């Protein structure tokens, strides 16, 4: 009888290994975003996500880009530093700058963005959903 009980427990444990965590277990997001157009306009926003609940302030209130899901999907990118050895085109995309700080799950985020060369522009474009609605003509569009 004990052997049967042990087998049932073991099978239950194995079955549980394949289960996914419920969506309420999504990583918590707490970010502050500051964007400057390089001409004197600066905008700030905050993003707090717990499960499916989101609280946004500042220019992100106007964003239609679902910033919580975006931040969670891009957590590794936002928490990383750009590779200092990457080869970039020498093209200037404008004086805009942005800084994203905070946490996504256990990842600490402190990332600066600019449009100073081709690599920085690519990084800016990748993170641009967090800048949607900020001041400046290049920043007002809400990317698809």
| CATH number assigned to the domain comprising residue 49 | 3.30.350
Residue among 108, 124, 134, 23 nearest 69 (CA) = 23
Is the residue at 136 inside a domain? no
Is the residue at 141 inside a domain? no
- Note the pLDDT of residue 42: 92
Number of domains, the chain: 1
- Report whether 66 contacts 141 (CB < 8 A): no
Take residue 1 and report the two structure tokens written for it: 């009888």
Is the residue at 67 inside a domain? yes
The parent domain of residue 34 ranges over: 24-130
Residue-wise pLDDT for 46-57, tens only, equals: 999 998 889 999
Q: How many residues does the chain have?
A: 144
Residue 17 has pLDDT above 80, yes or no: no
Beta strands in 23-130 (DSSP E): 29-36, 42-50, 53-58, 94-104, 107-115
- Note the pLDDT of residue 136: 59
Instruction: Give 110-113 contacts, CB < 8 A, sequence gap 24+.
Output: 111/78, 111/79, 111/80, 111/81
pLDDT band at 131 (very low <50, low <70, confident <90, very high): confident
Query: How far apart (Å, rounded) are the C-alpha atoms in residues 131 and 140?
Result: 8
Residue 1 has pLDDT above 70, yes or no: no
Handedness of CA 95, 125, 33, 44 (dihedral sign): positive
In terms of pTM, does the model score above 0.95?
Answer: no
Residue entry with tokens 């989101």: 54
Residue-wise pLDDT for 23-48, tens only, equals: 457 899 999 999 998 888 899 999 99
């Amino acid at each position: 009888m004990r052997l049967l009980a042990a087998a049932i427990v073991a099978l239950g444990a194995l079955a549980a290994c394949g289960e996914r965590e419920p969506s309420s277990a999504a990583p918590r997001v707490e970010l502050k975003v500051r964007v400057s157009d390089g001409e004197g306009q600066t905008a700030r926003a905050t993003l707090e996500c717990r499960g499916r609940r989101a609280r946004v302030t500042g220019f992100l209130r106007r964003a239609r880009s679902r910033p919580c899901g975006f931040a969670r999907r891009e957590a590794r990118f936002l928490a990383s530093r750009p590779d200092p050895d990457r080869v970039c085109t020498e093209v200037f995309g404008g004086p805009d700058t942005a800084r994203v700080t905070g946490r996504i799950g256990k990842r600490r985020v402190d990332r600066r963005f600019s449009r100073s060369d081709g690599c920085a522009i690519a990084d800016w474009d990748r993170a641009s959903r967090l800048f949607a609605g900020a001041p400046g003509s290049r920043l007002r569009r809400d990317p698809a």
